[in-house]
Amino acid sequence: MRATVRERLPGVPYAFLSELRPGETAGVEAVLLGSMVREGAGWDPRASPRLRFVQRIFAGVDDLPFDRFPPEVAVAGNVGGYSPFVAEHAVALALACARCVLDGQAAVASGRMRPLPELRSLWQESAVILGYGAIGRAIAERLRPYEMRLSGVSRSGAAVPGLERTWPADRLAEAVTGVGYVFDARPLTRATRGSLDARTFAAMREDATFVNVGRGGTVDEDALYRHLEAHPRFRAGIDVWWQEDFAGYQLHPRHPFARLPNFVGSPHWAGYAPQVGAYALGTALENLGRFFSGAGPLHRVDRADYAP
């Protein structure tokens, strides 16, 4: 990391927060921040009066304690820093659901070849991508070889090249109606929290597949579990959860999703691969470079989206 920072931000003095003693952060103008709990636990942003910019190493900012930062401090997520890897995992979950991978594993373990489960395909199916940002676009790129009919959901609903249709966020139930695969790649904001509820799931096809690689909180946990129980042909592949204890690396779901035959899950590891560290650090430092060059950092978030 030190070598990469020196290469990407030449002439910019830096230090790790853990190396600084109280009172030595007064000259800090920008911070590259992972977890405020881990890396920034002993740091009070108000002790850095020259601070103007916080760049997250992670894509999301929903866990950031905005109230600890003065209002003049801009904050940016690491948009695009994990897109290739998360998108690949999203397609893997969709394929695992379609091709009944877990059923196949169980059949092999017991020495059975038949009967066949209800095998499906992504080929020439329809898909809607909720949240057509960097990850959403990367998912679309990986779905196009399957000749899928693609649509998207964004805040504005403005037309996007390569999509048959883009829906505004306030027409979410219409967007998912009649679609074979629903991919959720949205951030967790005041507007998206709990937006996939019982009404939205009821609008989906009886045999639809839902994949979430965005944030668990965009989905009503109870509604999803009840829908999976009541609709055995409906399938879900989930990587992000509602109660994620990153301090103890434990998941605490309120329902036994993993016991359901129409569910495939992973414990929030879509963004991990050998190449991720260097790739994500590079995109974060590129945006920090824009701050120090005076060009202005990209992807600044609106604090109002994350206010309690």
Q: Are both 218 and 105 inside the same structural domain? A: yes
pLDDT of residue 40: 78
Asked whether the predicted pLDDT for residue 308 surpasses 80, the reply is no
Binning pLDDT at 50, 70 and 90, where does residue 283 land? Answer: very high
Asked whether the predicted pLDDT for residue 294 surpasses 80, the reply is yes
CA distance 228 to 149: 25
The three-point CA angle 306-91-287 to 5° equals: 45
pTM: 0.95
Helix (H) or strand (E) holding 306: none
Q: Are both 171 and 121 inside the same structural domain? A: yes
Q: What is the rounded average pLDDT of the residues 29-52?
A: 89
Give the list of residues 6+ apart from residue 161 with CB closer than 8 angstroms, or none. none
Q: Are both 184 and 237 inside the same structural domain? A: yes
3-state SS class at 124: coil
Partners of residue 75 on adjacent β-strands: 54
pLDDT of residue 76: 98
pLDDT of residue 3: 92
pLDDT of residue 37: 80
Give the list of residues 6+ apart from residue 143 with CB closer than 8 angstroms, or none. 91, 122, 127, 150
Q: What is the rounded average pLDDT of the residues 185-213?
A: 98
Residues of the domain holding 75: 2-80+274-305
Q: Are both 253 and 284 inside the same structural domain? A: no
Q: What is the rounded average pLDDT of the residues 45-67?
A: 94
Q: Are both 222 and 279 inside the same structural domain? A: no
Q: Using DSSP bridges, classify how beta strands 165-168 and 181-184 pair: parallel, antiparallel or unpaired.
A: unpaired
- Tens of pLDDT, residue by residue over 141-150, are 999 999 999 9
Q: What is the rounded average pLDDT of the residues 73-97?
A: 98
pLDDT of residue 21: 85
Instruction: List Cα–Cα distances, 137 to 156, 216, 226, in angstroms.
Output: 16, 20, 30
Binning pLDDT at 50, 70 and 90, where does residue 43 land? Answer: confident
Find out whether 221 and 242 touch, Cβ atoms under 8 Å. yes
Q: Are both 151 and 222 inside the same structural domain? A: yes
| Listed range (40-44, 155-159, 232-236) with the worst mean pLDDT | 40-44
Q: Are both 213 and 234 inside the same structural domain? A: yes
Find out whether 153 and 130 touch, Cβ atoms under 8 Å. yes
- Tens of pLDDT, residue by residue over 213-239, are 999 999 999 999 999 999 999 999 999
- Structural domains of the chain, count: 2
Q: Are both 135 and 12 inside the same structural domain? A: no
Q: Tell me, what CATH number does 215's domain have?
A: 3.40.50.720
pLDDT of residue 75: 97
Q: Residue count of the chain, please give it.
A: 308
Q: What is the rounded average pLDDT of the residues 174-194?
A: 97
HSE, CB side, 13 Å, CA atoms: give it for residue 94: 31
Token pair in block for residue 93? 């979950």
Q: Are both 52 and 117 inside the same structural domain? A: no
- Tens of pLDDT, residue by residue over 18-40, are 888 878 999 999 999 998 888 87
Mean pLDDT value across the chain: 95
Q: What is the rounded average pLDDT of the residues 130-142?
A: 97
Q: Are both 21 and 48 inside the same structural domain? A: yes
Q: Are both 152 and 187 inside the same structural domain? A: yes
Asked whether the predicted pLDDT for residue 126 surpasses 90, the reply is yes
The three-point CA angle 48-53-57 to 5° equals: 110
pLDDT of residue 42: 80
Q: Are both 59 and 178 inside the same structural domain? A: no
pLDDT of residue 105: 97
Asked whether the predicted pLDDT for residue 73 surpasses 90, the reply is yes
Binning pLDDT at 50, 70 and 90, where does residue 296 land? Answer: very high
Q: What is the rounded average pLDDT of the residues 136-156?
A: 97
pLDDT of residue 115: 95
